[in-house]
Chains A and B, each alone.
Chain A
Amino acid sequence: MIEHLIPILIGTLGAATPLVLAGLGELVTEKSGVLNLGVEGMMLIGAVAGFACAVETGGGAGAGLVAGAIAGMGAALLFAVIVLSLAANQAAAGLALTIFGIGLSAFIGQSYVSYSLPGLKPWAIPGLSSIPVVGPIFFRQDFVVYLSFALFGLVWWVLARTRLGLLLRAVGESPESAHAIGFPVIAIRYGAVLFGGAMAGMAGAYLSCVYTPLWVQNMTAGRGWIAVALVVFATWKPLRLLLGAWLFGGVTILQLHAQGLGIAVPSQLLSALPYVATVLVLVLISRDRKLLQLNLPASLGKPFLPGS
């Protein structure tokens, strides 16, 4: 049992990284009052763009991650034009983005089906990685895992401690008042949506270039939706999001190690575990309406057009 625990925990962090990245992006987007349900689509577009770029340029995972982030941002821009400039229904536009992303990524990915990439070697941080137990779990990971820690810190700091964070929250709470004071509501929301897109795109590229370094159609397998659910679970707080992502990473990895642990349940039913867990967690957290109401950005999902 114990000999499985450390590998499971090490794997947990890697499995959680796409959720952390996409989840943080969606958190910032939702804080600005925009509900983007297209995370799954943006992740897929990022995954295929990252993979294609890594293969074509030979630049490896690093180039793939950058390309993924840019592609995710492009997809988010499409969404932003429709919901911010044209004030379309956000839920429907998010679904459109996901359907579009599934189609586009499969279309582009068709010619990359048989390719594979070398992936990324874990990079042990000298000193820290030799701490027993904690060292191998946290400090012998690939650099994207460290990057996700850094981005978590950045998002937390910006939201909680800076003027930009205050502005973002003001726009999400009451775009009318923010507009009346003279803040560029639409511009700020564009920024937040694009940031969300870049993060989702990078999360997708992590999957295709690092985690399982090959292209498979629909390879995100609902992780984008789990990231959206995580934001609700986290009640729009970054630290809870990080912990929630680790929890889900753990469930995912547990299912891979189930055979070794001697759990005799059919693999398909174990694969359903993360999705069942998402539903259960949503139920648990949503029961407390007050907690949700308290943290929910008041204008989430409502279109806003200045001057109307």
Chain B
Amino acid sequence: MLEPRPNPSRKMQLASPLIAIALTLFVGGNLFIALHKSPLDAFRVFFIEPLSTANGWSELAIKAGPLILIAQGLAIGFRARIFNIGAEGQLIMGAICGGGIAIWLDGVDSAWVLPLMVLAGAVGGGLWGALPAWLKTHFNAEETLTTLMLSYVASFLLSWLVSSPWRDPGGMNFPQSVMFGDPALFSMLFEGMRVNTSIFIVIAAVLVFWVFVTKSFLAYQLTVGGQAPQAARYAGFSSRRTVWVSLVVSGVTAGLAGVGEVAGPIGQLNLNISPGYGYAAIIVAWIGRLHPVGIVLSGLLMALIYLGGEAAQVTLQLPAAITGLFQGLLLFFLLGCDVFIDYRLRRHKRKKRIAPTPAVRGPETPDAPETAMVPEPTAAPLRTASIQGERA
């Protein structure tokens, strides 16, 4: 029997992701056994081997970068209960806009090409996020559905661009653009490794979001808007602004991630610019407790699952889809464990139910408060105790 805790448990907030990881590993281990693979071998291939070389760490950074960047933006919206699940489409639009600049300025040797691409990517992603924001604020259209539908639209747009107007004439008819020239690529940090200077965008973003979330009043308003919409309205916080900020900010980060991919490890526009980063970032944000630092950790974990999935494909002949399977399981377990932040387990004890008739109450009983403050179960870590006081 679940019983509400008087205060959300801080311990469980931190323990819940760890328990979820442990449960995912447990189920994963059993899956490997079912597939007649030794779970110990499998875990070594999945989690240890990828990190045993310097190149492995470089690959980890390459995969973690976009996940962390996108999740930072998404977390702002999730705090405000704005569920942007179309980061994949915003990433694609960022890649299209940034990549379009690279194709347009192909052969131009200027230090301004790359900054222009980054700007275009941010604008492209931001606009693709602004569209559902406009649809929500003006027409009340649910952002969960519109952002996702627009992802499909973006991917068809990309598919058309690389197979018709932007197709590489010398590309054997493959749906892909020309390879970008050096001025349109992030430069490598180390010889022979793919990790590149776009990592500084990610680091800067983490710092900006950390300051924004911990220090700014706007972030507080957004959180209150998500946790207690009525209190937010009473305090005069604009819900329209919440929608716009959430969706545009997450669109911009996804767009930046898109540029980082096409001007980084991929170096061109093609149909495989994202292995589902936009969707995986949703999980990253959640496991990171919607906190900028937590997101860095969970982004690294999720990137490791991607790397491990690739390694398992090569070494263990397992299908690549095992990555998505692990990601989904992890989020499931986390959501399940999160309930123990607000509730605790009590052995089932059935009390006799007494009808609450006013006549029973003696005259000496002081008036009980009309409504008990039961915290709404939520996955968001931040509490807004103060605003409840304001309301009273």
Contact = CB atoms under 8 A, between A and B. Distances in A.
Contact of A92 (B135, B146, B320, B335): B335
Interface in B137-160: 139-142, 144-146, 148-150, 152-153, 156-157, 159-160
A266 to B, nearest CB: 5
Contacts of B149: 222, 225-226, 229, 275-276, 278-279, 282
A93 interface: yes
A232 interface: yes
Interface of B: 1-4, 83, 85, 135, 139-142, 144-146, 148-150, 152-153, 156-157, 159-160, 163-164, 279-280, 282-283, 286, 319-329, 331-332, 335-336, 338-339, 343, 374, 376-379
In the A-B complex, the 9 residue pairs with the smallest Cβ-Cβ separation, listed nearest first, are A103-B324, A100-B328, A106-B321, A103-B325, A268-B160, A96-B331, A272-B156, A88-B335, A110-B319
28 contacts: A88-B336, A88-B379, A89-B338, A92-B331, A92-B379, A96-B335, A99-B328, A101-B328, A103-B323, A103-B324, A104-B325, A110-B321, A232-B142, A269-B160, A272-B152, A272-B157, A275-B153, A275-B156, A276-B153, A282-B141, A282-B149, A283-B139, A284-B139, A287-B140, A307-B1, A307-B2, A308-B3, A308-B4
Contacts of A100: 324-325, 327-329, 331-332
Contact of A279 (B146, B323, B377): B146
Contact of A87 (B2, B139, B320, B324): B2
A87 B321 contact: no
A289 B379 contact: no
B103 to A, nearest CB: 18
Given A225-B149, A268-B157, A282-B141, 6 more contacts: A95-B83, A100-B325, A107-B321, A269-B156, A272-B153, A272-B156
A78 B321 contact: no
Contacts of A96: 283, 328, 331-332, 335
Contacts of A93: 332, 335
Contacts of B142: 232, 282, 286
Contacts of A92: 286, 331, 335, 379
Given A96-B331, A266-B164, A308-B3, A87 B339 contact: yes
Q: Secondary structure at chain B's binding surface: helix, strand, loop or mixed?
A: helix
A91 B282 CA distance: 12
Interface in A284-299: 284, 286-287, 289, 292
Interface of A: 37, 41, 78, 81-82, 86-89, 91-93, 95-97, 99-107, 109-110, 217, 221-222, 225-226, 228-229, 232, 266, 268-269, 271-272, 275-276, 278-279, 282-284, 286-287, 289, 292, 303, 305, 307-308
A105 to B, nearest CB: 8
Contacts of B336: 81-82, 86, 88
A99 B379 contact: no
B339 A86 contact: yes
Contact of B377 (A88, A95, A105): A88
